[in-house]
Amino acid sequence: MTRVLVIEASSGGVVGGSLTGLLHMIHGLDRERIVPGLVLYERKDIEDGLRADGVPVYHVPRRRLRKEHSLLELEGYQRAKRVGAVKAVLSFGRQLLRLGVEELPAALRLARVIRQFRADVVHLGNGVRANFDGLLACWLTRTPVIVHVKGFEKYSNRERAAARRIDALVPMTKAVEEHCRRHGIVGRRTVVIYDGIDAAGFAPQRPAAAVRAELGFGDAPCVGVASNIQEWKGQLVLVEAMAEVAQAVPEARALIIGGVHRAGTDYNARMERRIAELGLRDRVIITGFRNDIADVTSALDVVAHTSVRPEPFGRVILEGMLLGKPVVASAAGGVPELIRDAETGFLFEPGDSHALAARLIRLFREPELRRQIGGAAQQWARAAFSMEGHVEAFSALYESLTRRK
C-alpha cells in the first residue's frame, strides 16, 4: 500500500473548492491501495467526517506576513517601488523575510509530520508558491512530491528553479498547464488531471419544493451563484444583471450562496448596499454559508458562475451540471474546457452583467431550453468528470512515484 499525505494550505476560515475537491478524492480512494492523511494550516469544520472515515488530520501552524504595512501609506515609498532596481531589491528582501518567518519554520513542522505519518508520497494541494514550505519539507525528508496547481499564479525565479525538482506537476486544466509552461514552471513530469464530481455524494436530500419554501422564493424562477463571497468571485455581476432581469421577468429571484471570506467583508457590505440601491431586496437573497449545497442547487432553475478573474476550474459549474441545471458562466481560464457554449451551458465575458442578464432572461422564459441544456450538461459531466476516473488517475500517479522511490 502507498501512504499519501495531502497538505492543504488554504486559509480564510472557509472551505473552498480547492479543499472540497481534495476531500472528495480522499473519500474515493481504495484503502487497500492508498492510505491517506491530511495536513491543514487552520481548523476546518470538515475534520470530524474525515476522522470518522479513518483519515488522520494534522494541524501545522504557519505564521503569515501582513500584506498591509505602514510604509504603504508613504508617497515616497510608493514612488520608490516603481523604480526597477528598487522594486527588485524589495521583492528579494520580502522573499528572504518570508522564507525565514513563514516558510522555513512551517517546513520543519511539516517534515516532522511527514516522518510521523511515514509518507511514501506527499500531495501538495495549493500550487508551487503557496506550498513552498511543503516543497522544502519534502526535500528535507527526501519524499517524492506531487504539486497540484489550481490557479494562475505569479512566479519568481525561485519557483521556476524549484519546479525542476518537483516529481510530478498536476495542473487541474489545460489552461493552467499552459500558464505554467508560459512562466517556466515545468516539473520532471506534468500530468493534467481534471477534478471529478461524486454523483452519489452530491445528491439532494430534500425535495426542491421544501428548499424553495424555506428560502422564500416558492415557484418563482430562480438563479443562484454558490461561492465564498469575495471580490474576484464577482457576485456583484449577478446583482447588476438582476436589475435588468427584473424588468423582463418581474417574478425572477436570485440566490447568493456562501460564507463571507475574511478578505471579502468590505465587498459583501458593498454588495448589500448595491442590492438596496437597485431596489432588489425582495429579489436577491443572500443565504450565508450553507452545508446543503446539493439541496439548494437542486432547487434552482439556473446556476450562475460570475468570477471576474480567470477561474482555474469551477467546481460549482460541474455541480450544477451534474444536477441537470443549465449553467451560465464567465468564459475565462479553465471554464471553457467545462462548457460547450449553447450545447452544455452558456458562456459570457467576465464582468459583463448585460450579457449575463440576456442569457438569464432567455432561460427563464424558455423552460424547454432549460431542460434541453440541463440534460446535455448532466450527461457531459457524468461522462467527462467522473470521480472514479479522477481517483484512479491520482492513485496510479501515487503508486508510480512510490515505485520510483
Would you give per-residue pLDDT tens digits along the chain (405 residues)?
Answer: 999 999 998 876 667 777 888 998 999 999 999 999 999 998 888 888 899 999 999 999 887 766 554 545 556 555 655 556 555 555 656 666 676 768 899 999 999 999 999 999 999 999 999 999 999 999 999 999 999 999 999 999 999 999 999 999 999 999 999 999 999 999 999 999 999 888 888 899 999 999 999 999 999 999 999 999 999 999 999 999 999 999 999 999 999 999 998 889 999 999 999 999 999 999 999 999 998 999 999 999 999 999 999 999 888 999 999 999 999 999 999 999 999 999 999 999 999 999 999 999 999 999 999 999 999 999 999 999 999 999 999 999 999 999 876
For 361, other C-beta atoms within 10 Å of its C-beta total 17
**166-172 long-range contacts, CB within 8 A, separation 24+:** 166/128, 166/135, 167/401, 167/404, 168/144, 168/397, 168/401, 170/146, 170/394, 170/397, 172/21, 172/148, 172/312, 172/313, 172/334
Backbone angles phi, psi at 40, to 5 degrees: -120, 150
* CB neighbour class for 29 (10 Å; exposed up to 12, middle 13-18, buried from 19): buried
Enter the C-alpha cell of residue 208: 426542491
69 Cβ neighbours under 8 A, 6+ residues apart: none
Q: Is residue 50 classed as helix, strand or coil in its secondary structure?
A: helix
Enter the C-alpha cell of residue 114: 511527514
CB 292 within 8 Å of CB 219: no
Q: Of the candidates 83, 103, 111, which has an alpha carbon nearest to the alpha carbon of residue 158?
A: 103
DSSP state of 97: H
Q: Of the candidates 157, 104, 149, 105, which has an alpha carbon nearest to the alpha carbon of residue 130?
A: 149
Domains of the chain: 2-70+100-196+386-404 (3.40.50.2000), 208-384 (3.40.50.2000)
